[in-house]
Structure 1
Amino acid sequence: MKNILITIICFLLLSGNFVLAQDSHFITSGTIEFEKSSNIYAIFSRNVNKDNEAYMKPVFEQLKKTQPQFKVLKSTLTFGYNKTLFVPTPTENQNSSFGYVVAAEQSNTIYTDVATSSSVAQKGVFEETFLLKDSTRKINWKITDETREIAGYTCRRANALILDSVYVVAFYTDKILVSGGPESFTGLPGMILQVALPHENIIWRATKVNDIKIPETTLIPPKKGKVATNKTFRATLDGAMKSWGNYAQSYYKAFLL
């Protein structure tokens, strides 16, 4: 009986050490598959007001009859060597009805060099493509004690405010040793696996993390587009949409994310 107890205790100790060894595994390179989910109905309804409801309400009703409530788009974040490259997955079926909901689209390709706090972002704005070369966005994150399991990783919550009014909720893991995330969301002590914009009805969520060796030569910035900085890009948007009134705000925020 004594020998059996000793065997059980040894087994439990060995199992505990194995779990700890698994838990201490850190990732330095790989790919992350993301899904962006946008509540089309909620986003579109914010653009309907008393000044345009005569023609916007029928469009909204038609949208609800012909399109699903949520639009889901995929993307891949490749990371390694303190660099990240966020690339949207091309979609074959682009329905024109979604053209009214620019926030639900996903056209940005973003390269980030964490070590130098710099980024190169290729952004499509209507019929034009811009190439923004600038420093990474400074986000004043507030880390909380809340945790959540995402793509097999225990992630900690952090909150922030960007673009003066856009509330951001992110969940990151410190088991991935690159301070990156989807789109241009960075700056936490680990990899961001989920970003939600609750008031914008948009969420990016990691569905799979691939712990693989990534050749550094694959982490290269995009090259096509009209070169600009964040400041000159904002000025271009201001000039193009200055006569749009409040209707411009949804486009403005979508292009600057």
Structure 2
Amino acid sequence: MKTKFILLAGLIFTMHNLFAQNVRFVNSGVIEFEKSINQHAAIRKMMARAGGMISGSFDDYKKSLPQFKILKSTLTFSGNKTLFTPIAEAGSLPGMFGGSLESEQSNITYTDLSANSFTTEKTFFEETFLIKDSPRKINWKLTSEMRDIAGYECRRANAIIMDSVYVVAFYTDKIPVSGGPESFTGLPGMILGVALPHDNITWFAKTVTDKSVPVTEIKPPTKGKPLDNKGLFETINKVLSRWGSQAGSMIKLLVL
């Protein structure tokens, strides 16, 4: 009996090792993301916050633009460095009210996870800022829910950021880089999906290309007026101080 047990244990150990050898961990490559904005839902909320100060009816706006606006971007990664870059599309359909923050994607974000630093080139109200600081600390809570994204099995995690923004993220430990789109980081693997359910916005990976990327090709942006997170928040508050009830939602979008 003892001999059979030893043989069985040896067989299980051998099979585990063979399986582990076949698991492919991706350490560098390019991820293509799509950001989706539910414009109809966002417009309904904007009109409610404005208290009828926006002219026209909700039905008029629904007829004038598609429900979802799709924006594309790439996340290039190598080792512990990532670079999130929006893709400008010629001839893309207009967003809400011609170009509101909800329908745009203007952040170029570089993150060095080893150095605990990030640099973001951020443009709003026709001015460009270069934000240098440490990555946002997010207190993620892992769940048992799983979802397939771009061919990777991903685990769900939830968090609250900026005191009130509910975030749902899906990450894979098969890409052992604690990065993600925009400023979302801090999970034990690459984030391939993010949803802001109360803000009608999602980012989901469509493809993951496993390829060698020289770390020297991943460089931070350099354009814009230098600020840190505190300076950015103070600048935004000053600019939006007269926006009343609209200011809160605008600030959230600007500091993501």
TM-score surpassing 0.5? yes
Paired residue secondary structure (1:239): helix
1:108 and 2:103 are equivalent in the alignment: no
Give how far 1:68 is off: 0.5
Give how far 1:164 is off: 0.8
Gaps of 5+ in 1: 1-14
Contact in 2 for aligned 1:43/1:101 (Cα 8 Å): no
Of stretches 47-56 and 128-137 in structure 1, the one that deviates more from structure 2 is: 47-56
Name the structure 1 match of 2:68. Answer: 70
Name the structure 1 match of 2:207. Answer: 208
TM-score under structure 1 length normalisation: 0.88
Name the structure 2 match of 1:255. Answer: 254
How far apart, CA to CA, are the structure 2 residues paired with 1:69 and 1:92? 20
CA change 1:254–1:148 in 2 (3 A) is same
Paired residue secondary structure (2:180): coil
Amino acid at match of 2:150: A
Paired residue secondary structure (1:47): helix
Spell out the pairing of 1:178-197 with structure 2 (5 A cutoff).
178-197=177-196
Spell out the pairing of 1:150-189 with structure 2 (5 A cutoff).
150-189=149-188
How many residue pairs end up in the alignment?
242
Contact in 1 for aligned 2:168/2:196 (Cα 8 Å): yes
The CA RMSD measured in Å over matched residues stands at 2.0
Spell out the pairing of 1:83-94 with structure 2 (5 A cutoff).
83-94=81-92
Spell out the pairing of 1:1-257 with structure 2 (5 A cutoff).
21-22=21-22, 24-49=23-48, 52-53=51-52, 55-58=54-57, 60-98=58-96, 99=98, 101-257=100-256
How far apart, CA to CA, are the structure 2 residues paired with 1:175 and 1:50? 42
TM-score under structure 2 length normalisation: 0.89
Contact in 2 for aligned 1:44/1:101 (Cα 8 Å): no
Contact in 2 for aligned 1:40/1:101 (Cα 8 Å): no
How far apart, CA to CA, are the structure 2 residues paired with 1:101 and 1:158? 29
Give how far 1:18 is off: 7.2
Give how far 1:100 is off: 5.5
Paired residue secondary structure (2:158): strand
Paired residue secondary structure (1:120): strand
Paired residue secondary structure (1:43): helix
The superposition leaves residues 180-201 of structure 1 with CA deviations (integer Å, 9 ceiling, x where unpaired) of 0000000000000000000001
Give how far 1:52 is off: 4.0
Gaps of 5+ in 2: 1-14
Instruction: State the identity %.
Output: 53
Amino acid at match of 1:73: L
Amino acid at match of 2:65: Q
How far apart, CA to CA, are the structure 2 residues paired with 1:116 and 1:223? 18
Paired residue secondary structure (2:138): coil
